[in-house]
Each structure stands twice: as structure tokens, then as C-alpha cells.
Chain A
Amino acid sequence: MNRNTSWSELVNPLVRSIPWSGIRKFFDLVTETPGVISLGVGEPDFVTPWHIREACIYSLEKGYTMYTSNYGLLELRQAIARDLQSTRRLIYNPENEILITVGVSEGLDLAMRALVCPGDEVLVPEPSYVSYAPCVVLSGGRVVSLPSTMDSGFRISAEQVAASITPRTKILLLCYPNNPTGTVMDRQTLLEIAEVVRDRNLLVISDEIYDKLTYVGEHTCIATLPGMKERTVLLNGFSKTYAMTGWRVGYAAGNADFIGAMTKIHQYTMLCAPITAQMAAVEALQNGGPAMMHMVQEYNRRRLLVIHAFRDMGLPCFEPGGAFYAFPEISGTGLSSEEFARHLLQEEKVAVVPGNAFGSSGEGFVRCSYTTSVESLSEAFRRMARFVKARGVQPKTVNVTVPDVSYLIPPAAEEAAG
């Protein structure tokens, strides 16, 4: 090997082909600016509830510092199985149908690597979380984007899925409630998509990390639909629901053979998720209900403030039914997503994430997370309102029709509410 050869040329072309996350680029800019109110944070502002932290400290005192089974602590897998049974009526065998992963991120990577063969196509809705496409590419697969627009509430449709299928299509990735749009999928649309998936013999990898953070209607887990459990890998974790992002603990649930295949990779590359985090996760599932409900209620109140604030300042904003993000359209300012984010940061010291970081269909939008205090949110909106007004956006006039989310409310519930 020639010593003068540069490292970048030696890097695997697949790795070279994937870009740095658009968020990363923006991150450096934000950290250099003092006094910023950040709406760019993709994690809860709550610190992990004390009872969970305390349980973790106790586990350390008791000397739980060893490896666990490759699958993860059986006690945690059993707690997850019980939770899935009670909340979704899904029955998974904790012995071999649940794998504890290092966050959903690892679960996603394992699922892709265990399934994707070179050239296989994976359908990925867009805008969506930054990791999906790179994970597909690194497994040798090809990403086929399913772009969505505000008119449809950023939902993909069954026709769109069907039209994108080729003989090489193997997987449909689902990611609802969605980061960055906050979109929640309604049951009817999911039923139609499930029909296409069954007819065309696809598999589903469903990242449902925000499932408990659903504010309008009820979350529908794709695995609960007829004939879907056996063709779905369900990914979930503790980061968002229990404010445990830094603990890095998640899980995959699905067919025993397939979970076994994922576990095979996991056993050689990760061995097991950290026992400390797993012990904390057990406590979260056993006693975390009330604290979680409190957080969900708080997010929902902020969500309503946020939607109101954007419409007040004249930015069309689709009502997010879940997660903790709003995705207002900013093209009325005449700026691109990146320009908007950069100028807003420089002029008003408010950080948001450019929508195009989540795929090209996110262009014209920015992601604002409301994981910050009401006080900070209010100040951030005062600054943003000033910023967009200076660019000719008329307050209190939303010209574009923003779709409502009444499709999320079942007719019976609507009557009761009325």
C-alpha cells in the first residue's frame, strides 16, 4: 500500500457515498452562537424520572455490572412482552421473539443487515428520521423514497406504496408517529397499506418509538392488523417515552427466526445492551406509567401552543398528532429551509432544523421541537414572529389550506366529543 494514499480514498465506497447528517452540519453553527433558544433538540427536556435513575444506582450498588444474555435481560424481555400484550394485545414470546438493542438505532441497523441483500429495494417514507436511508445503503440495499406532502398530512398512501413496488422490493419501512412531521397514521390508511404489503409479499420494519406520544386519536401498531404480525419487525425503545435517550436501550420484536438472525449479528458486534440501562428500563416499565402520563400531558399542552403560535404568525402548520415536533411551512418567507434556519439563528438566535435534513420533500419546511419550557417556547415564537414578519409574512393569515386531522378520530369518539 502506498503510504501517500489518502484515508478517504481507502474508505469503503458505500460509506463514502452516504453524506453527513444535515443536522450535524447545523449543530456546529448553533453551538458557536451564544444565547440561543434551541427548538432543534430531538429529545425530551425532562431528565429521566428519579425513580428510574434511583433504580439504576441501586443496581450498581448491588453489583449488576456483568454481561447479560445476548437477547438481553429476561426480566426486561418479559416486562416488554407484558407491556405489548396489555397495550397492543400482541403476544410475543420473551424467550426468542424479543431482542434488547442499543436503542432503536441498533435495532434498525440489525433488521436491515439481517434482511437486505445487495440490490434489494426498501421503501422509505419521506420526510423521515435521518438514519433510515443510510442504514439501507450500508446494508447494500437501495432506498426508494415515498415522498409525502402537507396536503395529505404527510401520510403515505397504499396506492403510492403499490406504485413503488418492483420485483426487487423487499421491505416497507414505517415510522409513525413521525419525526420530523409529527404525523400519526390513521387506522384506515394503515389497513389499506397492510393489504398491499400482504398481496405483494413485503416485510415491514416499523419504528414506533413515539407510539406513546400520540395526542389525537389512538396509535395503531401495524403488527396488530390482520396478517401483519408475522411479517413485521417492530422496533421500539425507552428514549422518548421515558425520557431515557442517553441510556441507549430499545428492542425489536418479531418472528423468532428473524429475531434470531438479528441476535446473531448483535452477539458478534454488540454482545449485549449495557446491563445498567437494561435494569433502568425494567424499572421504567414496572413503575414509569404515572411519570410518563405527566410528560405526555405536558407535551400535548405545548403542542397546542405551538400550532397556535405558527398559525398566528402566518406560517401554515399541519397539526402534528404525535411525537414532539411541529413542521411549519416557511416557503412564504422566500427563503429555503437552510437559509431560513441560518438567518433565524443569526438574527434572532432561535435554532430550528432545516426540513431538507429529513429528505428533499422536507424542503420548504423547518422542524421545531417543543421539548423546552413554555417560557422559552413563548420567547422563541416572539422572535420567530418578528423574523417572518420582516420577510413579508402577514400575521394571522394562513393562505394555504392546512388539512385537519379529523381522520384520526373514530366517528364514535367524535360524537361523544361533540
Chain B
Amino acid sequence: MKEVLEILESDARLSAGEIAIMLSMEEEEIQRVIKELEKKKVILKYMTLVNWEKAGEEKVLAMIEVRVTPQRDTGFDAVAERIYRFPQVRSMHLMSGAYDLAVFVEGQNMREVSHFVATKLATIEGVLSTTTHFVLRTYKQDGVILEDGEKDRRLAVSP
């Protein structure tokens, strides 16, 4: 099962048939495992990693450090949910250290992100402070280097 996940994580487009051959298993078995993993939400979604800058789209990404007051019973979770439900939030983590939540917000431009932070995020009850860092450049995402200058330089035929 772990191997199926590893293979799909590196290339979600491989068919159950191909995965079955690679793992010396039956295709039906792989199909069943994948269905099960999808049902259990171990596999959440199949997506495409896009370099939007190259596609000519203007987008800005900001990492916002958020300090919050944890609540009795729910801890950080209730406040966190009020934040991550916003579609502008691309990803979000509870952190150890100087602040509590690392919130990655995406928008068309800086103004849009600032507006979101000022009017939505900072005003949520329990949010103590926000510090916004705009991303200047993305070098690597989800294990993929965006502009990888390394290419196949091997001789076409070698002993």
C-alpha cells in the first residue's frame, strides 16, 4: 500500500495496470487498494503542479504568521478552521515557536492579499496579530525544482 502511494505521489497519471506490473501485483488488486485509499481519504485528490508564472498569470503568494489565543476545549482548532475555510488560504500549518499559524494566502496582487489580511484574517476573534511576508520567488515546490537547469547530458549510447 505504501508503495502504491509512493508511485502515485510521484506520478498520478500511471494506470492501475502499470502500477500492478511495477509491483508484481494484480491489476484488480491495485484498483481495489486505490479505491479503498480514496474512500478513506488517504488519497485526497489528484492534481497538477503548475508553474503559473510561466503560464503568464500574475499571482502573488504570502506567508502570514498568525498569533492566536487558544480556546478552552478546542485549542487552536476552532480558530484555525475559521481561517482555513477561506478559499484564499492555499495551505496552513500549526507551528511550534514564536507564532502559532503559518497561513499561505494566494491572490491576484498584493492589494488583494493585504485586503484579505486586514478585513478577514486579522479581525477574526482570537487572532492576536498577523505578520505578512510576500513570496518573492519560488524555487522548489512539493519536491519539484521549478527551473531545473539539469538535463540529460549522457551519451546516447555507452557500454
Where the two chains meet, the residues of A that have a C-beta atom closer than 8 Å to any C-beta of B are: 21, 23, 26-27, 30-31, 36, 38, 40-43, 45, 47, 129-131, 179, 301-302, 304-305, 308, 351, 353, 357, 374, 378
Contacts and interface: CB of A to CB of B under 8 A. Distances in A.
Interface in B16-51: 18, 21-24
A304 B156 contact: no
Nearest to A36: B156
Nearest to A371: B154
B156 A41 contact: yes
Chain B interface residue bracket vs A: 10 to 19
B11 interface: yes
Given A305-B18, A308-B21, A23 B156 contact: no
Contacts of A42: 158-159
Interface string B145-159: 000001010111111
Given A47-B150, A301-B22, A351 B157 contact: yes
B152 A43 contact: no
B98 interface: no
A39 B159 CA distance: 11
B49 to A, nearest CB: 15
Contacts of B154: 41, 43, 45
Nearest to B153: A47
B55 interface: no
Contacts of B155: 27, 41
Given A305-B21, A308-B21, A374 B157 contact: no
Interface of B: 7, 11, 14, 18, 21-24, 150, 152, 154-159
A131 B158 CA distance: 12
A351 B159 contact: no
Nearest to B151: A47
A305 B22 contact: yes
A304 B157 contact: no
Chain A CB count within 10 A is highest, among B23, B155, B158, for B158
Contact of B158 (A36, A40, A47): A40
A357 B158 CA distance: 11
Contacts of A378: 18
A406 B53 CA distance: 53
A374 B14 contact: yes
11 contacts: A23-B157, A36-B156, A41-B156, A129-B159, A179-B159, A301-B7, A304-B21, A305-B18, A308-B21, A357-B159, A374-B18
